[in-house]
Amino acid sequence: MAALEIHNVRKEFGSERVLKDVSISIDSGEFLILVGPSGCGKSTLMNAIAGLEPVTSGNIYIDGEDVTWRTPAERDIAMVFQSYALYPSMTVRQNISFGLEMRKVPKAERITAVERVADLLQISHLLERKPAQLSGGQRQRVAMGRALAREPKVYLFDEPLSNLDAKLRVDMRTEIKKLHQRLGTTIVYVTHDQVEAMTLADCIAVMRDGHILQLGSPDEVYNNPVDMFVAGFMGSPS
């Protein structure tokens, strides 16, 4: 059974058709990378999977269950989006712990989980600070920590490393890869970065203008692009 199935999803904003019958099936434990030019509908698709925006038509299944009309909290997902704000009045520790508290995770486990992700993301020294006392990159790591503290069925990452400097981005990429190998969680991950795509993905979906043009292994998409657009986008050898 697919961990996540997106079936004929359409999304319209007024008369603009942003997602045009998108269908993708992702196996449990698979790392799917979604790439495509700015404005092609990647974030709209992520929002639809997360339940942040209702779809116009089509269905979304998590572990075989139709979640199309469930709220984000009722879907077993954790997300890191560029615009996903931290709670300004809470400390970093409380921000990371909050989602666990909502899910009635016992206190001792919450403390362990916060320490585990803080160590992983190198933010242990920031746990008692408020978001306003952090840099952009630090805030992004806290947002990442908040998602990683949980163990949902599916993680959704929408360009989670885009605000980080090059060194940290490479470190974090390595950490995410290790984490995926260790936990075997299902991940959908949007990136602009071809290197990130090639190193992280089990499977790459190339999107353009609301359609999935190609879905395949990094090797297939890179070496056997379906058209000039995919070739150009992936930097395939000609």
3-state secondary structure of 33: strand
Phi, psi of 208 (to 5 degrees): -150, 130
Q: Does 80 bind ligand ADP (CB under 6 A)?
A: no
List all residues 6 or more positions away from 207 whose beta carbon is below 8 Å from its beta carbon: 34, 35, 36, 40, 41, 42, 45, 213
Categorise residue 16: left if φ over 0, alpha if ψ from -120 to 50, beta otherwise: beta
Q: Does 138 bind Mg ion (CB under 5 A)?
A: no
**Would you say 84 or 98 has its CB closer to ligand ADP?**
84
Q: Does 39 bind ligand ADP (CB under 6 A)?
A: yes
**Which among 37-45, 99-107, 146-154, 194-202 is the span making contact with Mg ion, rule CB under 5 A?**
37-45
**Which among 18-26, 35-43, 88-96, 118-126 is the span making contact with Mg ion, rule CB under 5 A?**
35-43
Count of CB atoms within 10 A of residue 119's CB? 11
Question: Residue 214 binds which one of Mg ion, ligand ADP, none, with CB within 5 to 8 A depending on kind?
Answer: none
Q: Does 41 bind ligand ADP (CB under 6 A)?
A: yes
Which tokens is 153 given? 């069925």
Q: In the 8-state DSSP scheme, what is residue 202?
A: S
Token look-up 């979906």 returns: 205
**Would you say 29 or 58 has its CB closer to ligand ADP?**
58
**Which among 34-42, 128-136, 160-168, 175-183 is the span making contact with Mg ion, rule CB under 5 A?**
34-42
Tell me which amino acid residue 227 is. D
Question: Residue 141 binds which one of Mg ion, ligand ADP, none, with CB within 5 to 8 A depending on kind?
Answer: none
Q: Does 18 bind ligand ADP (CB under 6 A)?
A: yes
Q: State the minimum distance, in angstroms, from the CB of residue 17 to ligand ADP.
A: 9
Q: Does 43 bind ligand ADP (CB under 6 A)?
A: yes
Which tokens is 163 given? 């605000």
Q: Does 43 bind Mg ion (CB under 5 A)?
A: yes
Q: In the 8-state DSSP scheme, what is residue 150?
A: S
Q: State the minimum distance, in angstroms, from the CB of residue 188 to Mg ion.
A: 13
Token look-up 């995926």 returns: 180
Alpha helices in 67-217 (DSSP H): 92-102, 107-120, 136-148, 166-183, 194-200
**Which among 39-47, 97-105, 145-153, 222-230 is the span making contact with ligand ADP, rule CB under 6 A?**
39-47
| Cα–Cα distance measured from residue 231 to residue 172, given in angstroms and rounded to the nearest whole number | 27
Residue count at the site for ligand ADP (CB under 6 A)?
Answer: 10
Q: State the minimum distance, in angstroms, from the CB of residue 114 to Mg ion.
A: 29
Binding residues for ligand ADP, rule: CB under 6 A, are 13, 18, 36, 38-44
